[in-house]
Amino acid sequence: MITRPPPEGREALTRDVRATIRDVPDFPKPGIVFKDITPILSAPLLFTRVTDSIAVAAMALQVSHVVGIESRGFIFAAPVAQKLGVGLVPVRKPGKLPHRVVREEYALEYGTDALEMHEDALGVGARVLVVDDVLATGGTAAATRRLVERAGGVVAAFSFVVDLTFLHGRQQLAGSSIDTIVEY
């Protein structure tokens, strides 16, 4: 359960998260400015405020599962699932899960990739909150939505710490509720 409600509004949290995120130029390739969320993880109170805020925003959704997208999504999804008192489901790169899986391929800015989830991770009608660190082009999140649907669930909402709005990822998730803390 949530240990305490966030002590301030979203505006103060957004300000503090924005001030903590580190820009890494030319990563993973020249011309890209990577928004590094790892400094948030080194600040325990800020990290707790972020996960509390995500959980508070999701409380009214009555989700049965939180799905975390590999790999930084796991870091935020696990405490959110605990705070909500619901199951955690990892969505992983191919070959990382030990049981039978459903697989979804998707396009990247620079090629293709795939994601997998255990086929029995969700039951029919499961209500899911999908959590990841960054919404960029939306391909990974959209592939995760398709995995959830193939496993019998429905995505109640998406939650991201950062939304890179200039990459138009929300278009890939049209019709879905999307919560973010910081937008660039």
By annotation, the residues acting in catalysis are: 72, 109
Distance CA 22, CA 25 (A): 10
User: How many Cβ atoms are within 10 Å of 108's Cβ, its own excluded?
Assistant: 11
- Cα 145 to chain center, whole Å? 11
CB 129 within 8 A of CB 157: yes
Angle between helix 72-84 and helix 44-58 axes, rounded to 10 deg? 60
Query: How many Å apart are CA 171 and CA 73, to the nearest integer?
Result: 20
Give yes or no for a cis peptide into 176 (omega within 30° of 0). no
